[in-house]
Chain A
Amino acid sequence: VCAAKPEHDSVLVIGGGISGMTAAIEAAEAGREVYLVEKEPYLGGRVARLHQYFPKNCPPSCGLEINYQRIKKNPRLHVLTDTAVRKIEGAAGNFAVTVRTAPQVITEKCTACGDCLPACTAEVPSAFNLGMSTTKAVGIPTGMAFPFRYHLEAGALDAAGLAAIAAACKYGAVDTAAAEKVATLAVGAIVVATGWTPYDAGKLASLGHGSVPDVVTNVQLERMASANGPTGGKIVRRSNGEPVKSVAFVQCAGSRDKNHLSYCSAVCCMASFKQARYVLAQDEAAEVAIFYIDRRTQGRLEDYLQGLEGNPKVKMVKGKVADVLVNPATGRLQVNSEATLLGELKGKEFDLVVLATGMVPNGLDAETATSPATDEWGFLVPGTPGIYPVGCAKRPVDVSTANQDATGTALRAMTLA
């Protein structure tokens, strides 16, 4: 708590994923002036890339739509996308935060009409689809995107390319001379909601990711299951595009493992159970095997696990997976664990293997003398006056818990608690 009266009672929220969005909206609806800064061109972060939430198997866009409406209706909430925090100076109650907005070649005048699409010839890997597909260098990832305007991938078009899209735009929304903008925000408190990055499955050499196309991660599977994803919502073998008949989920892929992430990422069990339901929703005759150490469905999420138990199409076996190999004769995948060597799944092969990889915290990437402490893995530890880590920047949590934490964190930030 500050001794002197704080200079500013506005709040800066760094990160426009679900935690940051919730913290920002809740503080703004409680009457505070709030800046929400997101480094990507759009809000939504990880949740915008999910097909469904557990435990309701409902689309994230439903809650995002409500949140975007709340943002649009609230004059106290200022959203700065494509914007990174560079420097934090000052102290609780009186921070000066330098933010940099990338050049906005596509400006707020964009109506999302799509006239520039035929004029753009450059293709880039789709950031929205985690690089699993390519997309035009100019565009909008989904009709749900917020802000609802196109974005141009930095550096993707040369002068001629820029001139072509500028010529195609009837609304003067292409600013070929756009420059970056640097601004300083005077705020009283900072909420750090920078979220997480999936653990690099390439480091799990024995599990085949990167070398075996039919080994995907859980976040990649979310994109495949999404109607606006790289496969139009079809879960297929990436090697040949065929539908999957049998899927193995490898839990704790790199988690609870001293050589990788020694902690538990808290959501992967539920995520795999949910994804098992995606597979069965697509083909009720498909088979699913889940290799786990412990099934961590705490609280009432237990109901979800119980809903799968006893389903003859879903086998759950305790045991760590040693490796994943392609059977050259069948082209299908062998998942080696005690269960497949000796147990009920002996000799079983799979069309697709999903690695339930964990979360790596993103931390606070800004020049500052008042950075929060981190634990041994980089999660931010609360305790720095005026700076409040939230959600997965602080600890691995699911969406519901992140929203709960973000709501309370809004009050901590408002009161410099």
Chain B
Amino acid sequence: MDKIGVYLCSGCGIGDVVDLAKAAKVATGEYKVPVCKTHAALCGDEGTAMIRADIQAAGLDAVVVAACSARAMSDAFQFGGTHVERANFREHLAWCHAAGDEDTDMLAEDYMRMAVVRAQKTEPLTPFALPEGTFCKDVLVVGGGLVGLTAALAAAKAGSAVRLVEKEAALGGWMAAQYKEIPEAPPYKDLEDVKIGALIERVTAEKNITLHLGNTIAKTDGAPGYYTVTLSGGETFTTGAIVLATGATAYDVAKVAATGYGTSLNIITRDQLEAMAKAGAIVQPSTGKKPEPMRVVFVQCAGSRDKDHLAYCSAECCRITLKQARYVKEQYPAAEIYVLYKDLRAFGQHENFYTAVLDDGGVTFTKADVKSVTADGDTLTVVADDVLVGDELTIEADLVVLANGMVPSTVDTKANPVLNLGYRLGTDLPDTRYGFPDSEFICFPYETRRTAIYAAGAVRQPMDPLMAADDAYGAALKAIQAMDLISQGMAVHPRALDLSYPDFGLMRCTQCKRCTEECPFGALDEDVKGTPMPNPTRCRRCGICMGACPERIVSFKNYNVNMVSAMIKAIEIPEEDEEKPRVLCLICENDAYPALDLAGMNKMTYSAFVRFVPVRCLGSVNVIWINDSLASGFDGILLIGCKHGDDYQCHFVKGSELAGKRMENVSEKLKQLALEPERVQIHEVALTDYARIPEIIDGFMATIDKIGMNPFKGM
């Protein structure tokens, strides 16, 4: 941007603390900006009208607003297509530094320099577009069970052309094998008939849905908006987004010795009981007879909540047992039924179902650890520890039903790939725990690591059919939304609507493969030589590739290595004898920047020797910035980003973790240069940790004080 107007606000105490005339002089003197004005309330109607008039009159293509945080007054400081650069003179300056202080004024001057340089280096954005006519917004649904059918219908009703691929010859999956469903509607007490038949009819009749039965995915090449899918049957088609709804399989209870599974025909799984009930009569399998009274023991958590088998809970087995106990009772009113459980889990309104089964009578619920199930002829003996009483319990039974859990169909995609993606980083969605593909599952349950591919239902996490159907809608929405955004060249979550995207200057690429390995979203493939092959429609715009690249060939039009280097170089470094150290602090704009705002709002004070540069993600920090800073005389560099590890809070999955690794290398390099490794530090803060910010900064300043100024200063 060339024609930059600079506007300083003296309101909210800024003018009382900062000598704005000095900061204005930087803009007009050093950068010769054509317009520079100060106003007492820039965000007010008068202030914004003044800016608007100048944009018109002077033909400004960017404005620098030196006022409050970019997070405040975002509506007021919007001027159509004119680029707006915010310099945080309030929360990061006036509200946390001493008034009338030379160091505060120098900080303001540097923030002005950085903002003007940033505005200068920003280029207008042109959205990424695929070649005319090649964008496909169709949705592929993989899996034709309850979730796949629901997602396909939901997407089709929203206007998408949908292809549904099911490996079996018939639709319906696990649900179609059910005899009854658990109660899903008030009063949450009565068994429901299986409703999937009607759903299959609607899907079959829907003209927007093309069915591919008896097929699996042999190959998925391409990227969102232009996937080329090859089916096992050889057919190929193009699609834009994918819903993965391949469900789960039952855990192999033969692995759980205590269940006795395999030693008697009368020890069966919940699915086997369901099949028997659906086929007609429930009988004792070994005799084919109906013992009276029928004695049934349900063993809950058969292999579940067990670190040797499935560590997790499969969420629906308790209620499936309630359902099965209910229909066993319907066939055998005098049945003697035991349910041996760890914790009986009938959450929400489903408690009513549990209460109803208790009220029916004839079912004894005991918190117990099952030790063994043995057979003597047709009769089974279950031995268990009664946890509450502390006694051993021995129960004779005609039938033992094992409530075994679910294993996601993606449990071993190395051996059994599902999507067969042609991505450098693997054939399928990355796993989290236990083979479930997922990422950030609290705030953003569909924050997938493979753009425009959304898992739904039991493949995503253990869930009951009611929740699974909701999940199908959620994934369908995300698929449609991704297509809508990507077709406009926009990013999807968390930078939704962002029009920037990385450009790769491949002429200078050295095929080091760091970018292709480190992209958390698998956006980059590579050719045989190892040169990255960008797929902008997979990209989430975090800039991790930009941080990774030692040749600095990756850049966004509004965020790039040169821009930040220029901002760093614009900061004035006082001579060593002035005893004014300078610290560069690169902060993640997602959490660390607002945490600094909160520190300001709480009027916390810290050293005015630190210059904050917000970055998209710590993962986008290129080591050259550290080198540049040390070369230009900075005494130390701090990086503040999000928590990493298992409970990571990084919005780009592993940006802060990667930054940590890169800084380890920097530390080695510092030692080679005979510089103290403590000069470069990385810290994690959560947004709520704002009170720690002064502590971190002042602690770092004390370290610099101790080790002394950068010996390269002024060289």
Contact = CB atoms under 8 A, between A and B. Distances in A.
Given A59-B687, A381-B186, A408-B473, A266 B348 contact: yes
Contacts of B315: 298-299
A59 B443 CA distance: 11
Nearest first, the 6 A-B pairs at minimum CB distance are A408-B473, A63-B443, A411-B477, A408-B474, A407-B474, A30-B481
17 contacts: A58-B442, A58-B649, A61-B686, A62-B443, A65-B591, A143-B690, A172-B44, A299-B314, A302-B312, A306-B305, A375-B186, A375-B188, A375-B349, A376-B186, A376-B187, A403-B443, A412-B154
Contacts of B158: 411, 414-415
B345 A298 contact: yes
Nearest to B313: A302
- Which bucket holds chain A's interface residue count? 35 or more
Contacts, number: 230
A69 B494 CA distance: 9
A264 B348 contact: yes
Interface string B182-203: 0001111000000000000000
Nearest to B314: A299
Contacts of B73: 111
Contacts of B312: 299-300, 302-303
Contacts of A306: 305, 307, 311
Contacts of A263: 348-349, 351-352
A113 B591 CA distance: 22
Interface stretch (B285-293, B464-472, B530-538): B464-472
A62 B649 contact: yes
Nearest to B40: A170
A144 interface: yes
B462 A412 contact: no
A109 B12 CA distance: 12
B347 A396 contact: yes
A405 B154 CA distance: 14
The winner among A55, A67, A404, A410 for most chain B CB atoms within 10 A is: A404
B481 A26 contact: yes
Interface in A19-67: 26, 29-31, 53, 55-63, 65-67
- Which bucket holds chain B's interface residue count? 35 or more
B135 to A, nearest CB: 16
A62 B313 CA distance: 28
Interface in B331-354: 343-352
Interface stretch (B396-404, B413-421, B596-604): B596-604
A377 B590 CA distance: 40
Interface in B426-484: 433-434, 436, 441-446, 461-463, 467, 470-478, 480-481, 484
Given A29-B497, A263-B352, A408-B472, A300 B347 contact: no
B697 interface: no
Given A63-B444, A171-B41, A263-B349, 15 more contacts: A1-B157, A59-B688, A61-B688, A62-B443, A62-B687, A111-B41, A111-B72, A264-B350, A299-B461, A301-B313, A302-B305, A376-B186, A400-B441, A408-B473, A411-B158
B651 interface: yes
Interface of A: 1, 26, 29-31, 53, 55-63, 65-70, 72-74, 109, 111-113, 143-144, 148, 170-172, 226-227, 256, 262-266, 294-303, 306, 318, 373, 375-377, 379, 381, 395-397, 399-401, 403-405, 407-412, 414-415, 417
A107 to B, nearest CB: 11
B388 interface: yes
Given A302-B313, A303-B311, A62 B72 contact: no
Contacts of A111: 11-12, 41, 43, 68, 72-73
A417 B154 contact: yes
A144 B355 CA distance: 43
A201 to B, nearest CB: 19
B598 A143 contact: yes
A82 to B, nearest CB: 17
The winner among A74, A256, A264, A294 for most chain B CB atoms within 10 A is: A294
Given A65-B687, A409-B473, A112 B44 contact: no
Contacts of B647: 55-58
B280 to A, nearest CB: 32
A143 B496 CA distance: 24
B351 A262 contact: yes
Given A300-B436, A407-B478, A415 B643 contact: no
Contact of A26 (B74, B154, B313, B477): B477
Contacts of B688: 59, 61, 226-227
A407 B351 contact: no
A407 B72 CA distance: 27
The winner among A143, A395, A403 for most chain B CB atoms within 10 A is: A143
B496 A148 contact: no
B486 to A, nearest CB: 12
Contacts of B484: 30-31
Contacts of A55: 442, 647
B330 interface: no
A66 B494 contact: yes
Given A57-B647, A113-B12, A410-B477, A66 B443 contact: yes
A144 B72 CA distance: 11
A381 B649 CA distance: 35
Contact of B351 (A53, A148, A264, A375): A264
A300 B12 contact: no
A375 B186 CA distance: 6
Interface string B475-515: 11110110011000000011011000000000000000000
A285 to B, nearest CB: 23
A143 B315 CA distance: 38
